[in-house]
Amino acid sequence: MKIYFRLLQYAKPLEKFAIPYFLFSILSTLFGLMNFTLLIPLLNILFKQEAADPTLLIRTAPTFAFSGDYVKNLFYYQSNMMVETYGKMGALYFVCAVIIVSVFLSNLFSYLSSRVMENLRVHTLLNLRRAVFNKVMSLDMGFFSSQRKGDIMNIITGDVGVIQASITSTLLVFFKDPITLIGYFAVLFFYSTKLTLFTVLVIPLSGFIISKIVKKLRESASEAQNSLGSMLSHLDETLSGLRIVKAFNAITLTQDKFHNENIRYTKIIKSMARRQELASPVSEFFGVSTVAWIVLYGGSLVLSNSSELSASTFVAYILIFSQVLRPAKSITNSFGTIQSGLASGEKVLKLLDTPATIVDKPNAIQLKTIEKEVAFNNVTFSYDQKIILDQVSFTIPMGKTVALVGPSGGGKSTISDLIPRFYDPQAGSITIDGVDIKDCGIASLRDLMGIVNQEAILFNDTIFNNIAFSRPNATEQEVIQAAKVANAHEFICATENGYNTYIGDRGVKLSGGQKQRLSIARAVLKNPPLMLLDEATSALDTESEKLVQDALNNLMKNRTSLVIAHRLSTIQDADIIIVIQDGKVVEQGTHQDLSRKEGGLYNKLTNMQNINS
């Protein structure tokens, strides 16, 4: 229940929904009961029961009292007055009309309660999905390195949906169905305590059997959600790498992997369905069996005149008890949904409870600009106990271009990721004008930076919106100017709808060079004081590389830049070149100085790439 009550917080303000739902449920139950209680005078009139039952001939208004006898006598008194006033046929018409009205009102309030419940469901789903998505956005990049994307997608889409269904099912179990059951059983006890006590003996037995059936539902539901997460991860990887799958004729391998996981998921779902579906027929079987026993036992009492029930009351009693089966069946059907919701709830709450390790300190310093330098001071960073950077120290002076070079896996990209605090180092510090970036507001820190990665990250939107992503309020002229600086304006104008052209998922309709130039235009539009360029030309052909490199040169004019490059020809003019190897700074200087240093790593790299000093 602890899990459920925590999830219920996302239904707040719950009273906005619970109070009207509770009232509508009560009214629906009361008018539903009226349908059956009005059958008694109707049956009395049809079967002329007055002569057989003198208690029905009450013609004096009873004295008010808080008792069942008062309600019963008042009911019969009103029935008799109706017969005397309108005659038997008139009373029959009147009772039928009242039954129709009560049925209408019962269903009207039932509909209104369903509307309230639907509003609660949508409200809960909105709040919970927003909370999960916001939490995911607040987590540091290290979290996603150890999580499958499919699992996260499944939590946001699948698990949240299961939870909101569970919450509404639980509210039905706690509110509407119990109200209905209490109302019906109150009337049943009113008519015959002995017979009703006999009927309720079956409930504990039915509940015990059903609890055994649904005992393993929660465990199965958790397995099902994990399996679905695996399928989503596989699907995402396959669609993202479809070119590679087809190029290496791995279609059959991929299909088999998906098919095997699909079979596993299907088996779990079938197992859950068997348990869930078994609960309903078991409940109905016991309910109908009880009705049969009531007919047999109660009927024998009525026939032998040893029961307090008249024939008409007994018929109404059976009809009222038959209505008990519906809420009872609804409760048993809800067990499976509730168990699935609790299993999903554990996963969602685990995600929501994941601490965000990179957060603003209280009263964090809000940076406005970079005036002097960005400095690494004995920075050490490790991932999964593997040291990536080992006491790295260097300075990026304001207005200068600093290049990071060295063998793959040396830690160059990690350095670039530490500056905007995608990760935090385990030791040492990174400072901007002498202020530790951990003491700065994260948003203000990242506002000072523009990033262009090796892989151009674009969105399934228009060219204009992709460029304006860094400044959503930018004018059309500002976006066009940024595109011109990035050498992108000409190819944009040549597209079908110009700046309003949709580029497809991840920019699939564009070439590599075109996508990279849009990324540069996005950074140009932001106009930050510091640029972080991570091998922005390494994946391009010669022609595209020249266009992109020209765009990068335009971007870096009069700006502080940190450039990561494998092609040393692109960074020969850098003010400072820092050589990184195995997480350490091994050399530092200009291209001319480092390339002439015999036996140095940079000299070795320039010789390998046939670059002259």
486-533 tens-digit pLDDT:
888 888 999 888 989 988 877 888 888 888 888 888 888 888 889 888
Give 224's DSSP letter: H
Give the pLDDT band (50/70/90) at residue 306.
low
pLDDT band at 247 (very low <50, low <70, confident <90, very high): low
pLDDT at 272 exceeding the cut of 80: no
Half-sphere exposure of 289 (CA within 13 A, CB side): 12
The three-point CA angle 478-479-480 to 5° equals 90
More confident residue, 605 or 92: 605
Confidence category of residue 577, pLDDT binned at 50, 70, 90? very high
Higher pLDDT, 299 or 545: 299
- Contacts for 539-544: CB closer than 8 Å, 24+ residues apart: 539/454, 539/455, 539/512, 540/512, 540/513, 540/516, 541/512, 541/513, 543/513, 544/511, 544/512, 544/513, 544/516
Residue 12's pLDDT is 81
Q: How many Cα atoms are found within 13 Å in the side-chain-facing hemisphere of 384?
A: 4
Q: Which residues pair with 402 in a beta bridge?
A: 562, 576
What proportions of the chain, in percent to the nearest 5, are helix, strand and coil? Answer: 65, 10, 25
Q: Is the pLDDT of residue 398 over 50?
A: yes
Token code pair at residue 287: 């309910």
% the chain with pLDDT above 70: 74
- State how far the Cα of 41 lies from the Cα of 76, in Å rounded to an integer: 8
Average pLDDT of the residues in 372-386: 89
Residues 523 and 555: their CA atoms lie apart, in Å, by 8
**Residues 6+ away with beta carbon under 8 Å from 573:** 401, 591
Sketch out the chain's domains with CATH numbers: 2-351 (1.20.1560.10), 360-441+530-613 (3.40.50.300), 449-527 (3.40.50.300)
Q: State the number of CA atoms in the 13 A half-sphere of 544 facing the CB.
A: 16
Number of C-beta neighbours around residue 144 at 10 A: 12
Q: What pTM was estimated for this model as a whole?
A: 0.67
Residue with tokens 């699935």, as numbered in its chain: 340
The pLDDT of 127-140, averaged and rounded, is 83
- CA 169, 173, 174, 176 dihedral sign is positive
pLDDT for 600: 86
Calculate mean pLDDT across residues 376-382. Answer: 93
Using pLDDT thresholds of 50, 70 and 90, give the confidence band for residue 379. Answer: very high
| pLDDT surpassing 60 at residue 601 | yes
Q: Which of 144-153, 200-209, 588-597 has the highest mean pLDDT?
A: 588-597
Place of tokens 């996603």: 144
pLDDT at 435: 92
Q: What share of the chain has pLDDT > 90, as a percent?
A: 10
In the chain, how long is the greatest CA-to-CA distance? 124
- With bands split at pLDDT 50, 70 and 90, how would you rate the model's confidence at 539? low
User: In terms of Cα–Cα distance, which of 493, 495, 545 is closest to 520?
Assistant: 545
Banded model confidence at residue 181, pLDDT cuts 50, 70, 90: confident
The mean predicted confidence, pLDDT, of the chain is: 78
pLDDT recorded at residue 437? 92
pLDDT in tens, 40-53: 665 665 555 444 44
Two structure tokens written together for 497: 């709808």
What was the pLDDT predicted at 30? 81
Tens of pLDDT along 74-121? Answer: 666 776 777 677 777 776 777 777 778 888 888 898 889 888 888 887
Identify the residue with better confidence: 538 or 467.
Answer: 467
Most confident of 157-166, 300-309, 410-419: 410-419
Choose between 80 and 572: higher pLDDT.
572
Phi-psi region of 391 (alpha: psi -120 to 50; beta: other; left: phi over 0): left
* Residue 290: pLDDT over 80: no
State yes or no: pLDDT of 430 exceeds 80: yes
**pLDDT number for residue 53:** 47
Strand 449-452 to 530-534 pairing? parallel
- Taking the mean position of all CA atoms in its chain, how far away is CA 562? 38
Output phi, psi for 113, to 5 deg: -65, -35
Q: Is 577 helix (H, G, I), strand (E, B) or coil?
A: strand
Which whole-number Å values give the CA distances from 302 to 40, 64, 191, 263, 439, in the listed order? 15, 30, 13, 57, 85
Q: Do 508 and 239 touch, CB atoms closer than 8 A?
A: no
| First-to-final CA distance of the chain | 72
CA distance 590 to 577: 6
**Per-residue pLDDT at 183 exceeds 50:** yes
Tell me the average pLDDT across 9-17: 80
Could you tell me the CA-to-CA distances from 267 to 202, 271, 274, 476 in Å, in that order?
33, 6, 11, 55
How would residue 591 be classed by pLDDT, with cut points 50, 70 and 90? confident
Residue 161 and residue 155: Cα distance in Å, rounded?
A: 9
| Residue 201 pLDDT | 66
Query: How far apart are the C-alpha atoms of 99 and 323, rounded to whole Å?
Result: 16
Are 462 and 502 contacting, i.e. CB atoms less than 8 angstroms apart?
A: yes
- Of the ranges 77-86, 338-347, 348-357, 407-416, the best mean pLDDT one: 407-416
Does position 606 have pLDDT exceeding 70, yes or no? yes
Burial classification of residue 272, based on how many CB atoms lie within 10 Å of its CB (0-12 exposed, 13-18 middle, 19 or more buried): buried
- CB-based contacts of 64, cutoff 8 Å, min separation 6: 70
More confident residue, 428 or 208: 428
pLDDT at 377 over 90: yes
* Degrees to nearest 5, angle at CA 60 with 57 and 66: 100
- CA 101 to chain centroid: 43
Q: State the pLDDT at residue 527.
A: 83
Helix orientation angle between 311-352 and 68-138, rounded to the nearest 10 degrees: 20
Task: Copy the structure tokens of residue 470.
Answer: 């860094």
